[in-house]
Structure 1
Amino acid sequence: MEGRYLARPAPGYGEAAAGDHLQLGWAFWLPGHQLEHGTAPWADPYTFRPEAEAFPNLQGWLLGIPFWPLRALFGNVWAYDLVVLLSFVAAGALACWWLRALGLSRGAALVGGLVFALAPYRVGQSTGHLLGLISFLLPAVLLALERRRFVWAGLALAAIPLSGQIHLAMGAVVLALGYAWARLPRSAWWQAGAGALAASVAAIVVQQTVVEGSIAGGGRSFGQVRHYSAELSDLVTRGVGAGIEELVFVGWLTPLLAVLGLWAIRRQRGLAWCLALAALIPSLLALGSNLPLYELLWHALPPLRFARVPERLMPIACLAIAGLVAFALDAVSARLSKRGGEAESSHRRLAGLSAAAFVTAAVVLLALDLRVPVFAAVAADTPNAAYAAIHGEGRILELPVFRPDIHYGSVYLGYARQSPRGRPEGYSTTAPLAADRLARRLRDLSCGRGPVPELGIRYVVVHRGLYAQSGFFGEGCAGRAEEALRRAGWRLLARDGVVSSWQSP
């Protein structure tokens, strides 16, 4: 894994492989870099310049906290991989802690934590999407509510929209209110409601300040929703299939145990209803256009129109299913222990061993049941001589040019850490409209057509590997782009493999 990202498999063609993990790596790196230079850690002063003055870096502030010291110790790539692994630990540990607070046995709670940590949708989203990495905030909210730590519950809840995950935040607010109704005395409802209100206000602020006026500001089309909608068979089909967004597999054994767990807590009606609806509703909504009446709901609820992926609420279902599985195992373990308690000491020891063996077998079977092949060791943005040769002031333009919401632009964010400077490009689904218009105007430069505009651009870097990765441009476009630069008087600074850097005349 040395020098490689833990991410979804993709070919690099001689340079870093494009993917959302590079966008996250940049977002995690930026807060520490900004603090080291005495500037605002939540701002990105380099991307989409000059079209954006200080593009907000919502994705980076939370996980950028552990990334900063890890980067100093191990470098960018290893720091990113360790943050991904730590997010798995956090998800499992907080889910386990929450279940222990509910009174479950240690073994059952550990299994529940494992099921949430290994939930296929959560794992799939962790290959490059922040949604999977910050899903540990969901059990953190429920744990805080269970412990009556309302300030912490509000902070964890508000951190979801403040990380840019507005769609998940909508579901998390409903989950928190439902859990408060099920588990808290009426006198404490207002405190839980205050936290939910704070998270709602945070979501509205993010929507108005970041999403509104961006390329996603007008909402998504239902055609996009239809493209990303899961099918009913996806819930029981292992593997990525049509794409990472449709990875809503919940296992084969896991849902059966969840039903058993629901039966085990049937007398705790509030909790049973809360977990049952939390498991069922996001799973149904994940079907999107394949769910009758979803289009009507999509038109009726404006917040739904800002997400092209209807599966965004699935982490809630993953947590609810994990909780129900834990309740099922706790009921079976309690039954085994009860039998042992009524017997002689030797039989009690045997019953205790039986309970331990049962939990161990459950761990193995559930881990096998939930496994999905989504991670690989992916080519990283290693130190590059073409970027190292760039010195002095001036913005940088990288070729080929992609529109801001095309993920191939993520490669430029990876290499940007070697030469942090203003650039008209980047990768974000909430990029300013002006950045999208500029990218359309600059696209012809990818094949050597037209002069490089002023815009303060002093350097151009040509990524031949990205021409091959994207397949968007005709054969020979990279060569024509370099030849056009040479004819216009641009000087070759350095060439490192498939990457070359050029300085203006």
Structure 2
Amino acid sequence: MVGVRNAQARTHTTWQFHPGDYLVVAIFICTTVVMMYAVLESPTSLLLGWAGDNIQYVYAAGWIAEALRTGASPFVDPRINPPEGLALTATDVPYLGYMVVAPLTWIFGPVFGYNAQLALAHFLSGLCAYLWVHRLTGSRTGGLVAGLAFMLAPFRHAHSYGHPQIVSTYPLPLFFWALDASLRSQPDRKALAGLAGATFLLGAASQYYLVIGLLCGLVYALLTFVTRRLNPLRGAWLAAPAVLIGALFAATPYLVIAQEGTYNTYTTEKTRMWSASPMNFIVPYHLHPLWGTLVEQLRTETLWGEKTLYVGLVPGVLALVALRTFERRFVWVGTGLFAFILALGTDLHTGNIPLQPDRPIWLPAYYLHQLPIIGLMRVWARFGIVTILFVALLAGIGAAQLTHCSKEVVRPGDHTLKHRRSLLLAPLIILLVALDLSPIYRTTDRITLAPRPIDNWLAQQPGDFIIGFEPVIDDKINYYILFGTLIHGKQTFAFMHQAHIPSVFQDFNERSRGFPDSASAQRLRDLGIRYLLLEKHMFDGKRAFRWDVVEQRLAETPELYVVTEVDGVVVVGFR
């Protein structure tokens, strides 16, 4: 316990880097490079994953950078859905990360900015976990193990395929670290400012993480009070307003559009399928280079993009080692278990199937989902990142104990022996953690994103005018439309999230009913549209009329005429 008390005292000291820390930073940089391997061939055009949400977030990176350069609002793009504009915060956006990498976006383009934000999130996630464990133990080995276990978590890699806001996990260790520091002593202004700042970072990275952090932080605080028998009225209560201030600042861009009725809550049926199974935390990642294929054959996870929650065998064993003497073990384990229970969602599932489809026994998440704001959350499995975090942190504590790197636990006579043990065990533990969690970075799981020919054609047309795409009923096409605005700068109609459709876009869709005919042409012309751009492949008789029908109806509609065709997109003008 002497080591714990001394480590706790260091929690409030000023951090200083030493040569060993630079080596650790170099390791995190190298690991980040490996994690971005699939796009390194051409980071200005390659994206990890398949065409989908990743294109939408490239647009967000591009617009936020452009807005900062031109003095416009980074949260509203006035070119889309005129005259109201498009609120980027209709979906969860890591806006602070995109602001930080904006200079790189200006120079190298929006795809590079998107990739740079991912890389920064990888690096900082490892570094922040490292700093907290190092501060607690004085062990660089322990900190490095914690950082790598958190940084390499398959959860983070799975979300790299298109959810940069969920990859932005670095504020989580900072938030719990700052909360811990504020609860364990009479907090001073610096500690409270740090807590408010960490909470702001949490919400600026992801509103999901803000809600997750607030709920899990409440449990963390309660467990801290109970286990340490603290009186919250003696100063720790100041942590609450600090958290509130940081949360309000981070959520302001979202609260502004919430007043406009943009957001729609999800029904239980929409959220129920995103309930994790306990097996998701145990089964290794199916993209592991050695045993991933076997895992895929034994237990196929069709929703692996959201339900990859493997905490790691090696980190798990190291975490068990930490439970012997670590003072915060009850708080960390309790908070991790709370997050685990919420990650199980509305009711118990196995293989993405409810154990009791018709008469479920509802879990806490079901009741939380009935509350305001929390009802906007769709994927409960994302709470699992908090469980992953505390397993990684405990793994770092366990590694520090095994290697006896912490100077407080080394008796003078044992210094040489402990040092030798550290030299032998530390590299082995680090390698085992890396081997346990390393995924395959397949170059086949990527796309090339570049302007479409229609975007270049529009960019060559002089003037600022409004265009409309028909039919805009496909998410992927919608995201390409968003990206295209960064190229041609024309006004158009689009959305950020299919569950939160702007009223102007809904009006555009309503006016498009029956297109093409005279009535729809008149309704659309009243919006001030100069060109309608028809995606030929989408007129397939299922999502819209067959193209041969469209051609015939265009010829029969005197208000419309064909201007040109550009790579499968027919440009139609108004007479």
TM over 0.5: yes
In structure 2, the CA distance between the partners of 1:255 and 1:33, relative to structure 1 (3 Å rule), is same
Query: In 2, distance between residues paired with 1:279 and 1:447?
Result: 59
5+ residue gaps, structure 2: 1-38, 182-189, 287-300, 349-360
2:390 to 285, 298, 320: 320
Q: How does 1:466-505 map onto structure 2 within 5 Å? A: 473=543, 476-477=546-547, 481=550, 488-493=559-564, 495=566, 497-505=567-575
SS of 2:400's equivalent?
helix
Query: In 2, distance between residues paired with 1:374 and 1:242?
Result: 21
RCO greater where, 1 or 2, for CA within 8 Å and sep 6 or more?
1
The answer to whether structure 1 residue 311 and structure 2 residue 381 are counterparts is: yes
The answer to whether structure 1 residue 95 and structure 2 residue 129 are counterparts is: yes
1:230 to 276, 293, 297: 276
Query: In 2, distance between residues paired with 1:96 and 1:27?
Result: 30
2:257 to 199, 207, 210: 210
Q: 1:216 deviation in Å?
A: 3.3
1:117 to 123, 126, 151: 151
Aligned to 2:346: 289
Query: In 2, distance between residues paired with 1:282 and 1:317?
Result: 6
TM (normalized to structure 2)? 0.73
1:461 to 533, 536, 545: 533
SS of 1:40's equivalent?
coil
The answer to whether structure 1 residue 55 and structure 2 residue 87 are counterparts is: yes
- Asked if the contact 2:347–2:366 (Cα under 8 Å) also holds between the matched residues in 1, the reply is no
Query: In 2, distance between residues paired with 1:300 and 1:326?
Result: 37
Query: In 1, distance between residues paired with 2:180 and 2:406?
Result: 28
Q: 1:154 deviation in Å?
A: 0.7
Q: 1:444 deviation in Å?
A: 5.0
Q: How does 1:317-466 map onto structure 2 within 5 Å? A: 317-334=387-404, 342=413, 350-368=420-438, 376-382=445-451, 384=453, 385-402=456-473, 406=475, 408-428=477-497, 429-436=499-506, 438-442=508-512, 444-445=514-515, 450-451=520-521, 453-454=524-525, 455-464=527-536
SS of 1:41's equivalent?
coil
In structure 2, the CA distance between the partners of 1:159 and 1:344, relative to structure 1 (3 Å rule), is closer
Query: In 1, distance between residues paired with 2:451 and 2:472?
Result: 21
Aligned to 2:49: 8
SS of 2:323's equivalent?
helix
Q: 1:325 deviation in Å?
A: 1.2
Query: In 2, distance between residues paired with 1:310 and 1:221?
Result: 13
Aligned to 1:14: none
Percent same amino acid at aligned positions? 20
TM (normalized to structure 1)? 0.82
| Larger displacement relative to structure 2 (154-163 or 91-100) | 154-163
In structure 2, the CA distance between the partners of 1:463 and 1:342, relative to structure 1 (3 Å rule), is farther
5+ residue gaps, structure 1: 10-16
Give the number of aligned pairs: 482
Query: In 2, distance between residues paired with 1:482 and 1:214?
Result: 39
In structure 2, the CA distance between the partners of 1:467 and 1:396, relative to structure 1 (3 Å rule), is same
Query: In 2, distance between residues paired with 1:311 and 1:372?
Result: 23
In structure 2, the CA distance between the partners of 1:308 and 1:339, relative to structure 1 (3 Å rule), is closer
- The one-character-per-residue Cα deviations of 1:398-451 (angstroms, maximum 9, x if unpaired) are 233127xx4542121111111223222223243334533543553654999942
1:24 to 53, 57, 78: 57
- The one-character-per-residue Cα deviations of 1:149-168 (angstroms, maximum 9, x if unpaired) are 321321231343455x4443
- Asked if the contact 1:158–1:202 (Cα under 8 Å) also holds between the matched residues in 2, the reply is yes
Aligned to 1:246: 307
Aligned to 2:23: none
Q: 1:498 deviation in Å?
A: 3.8
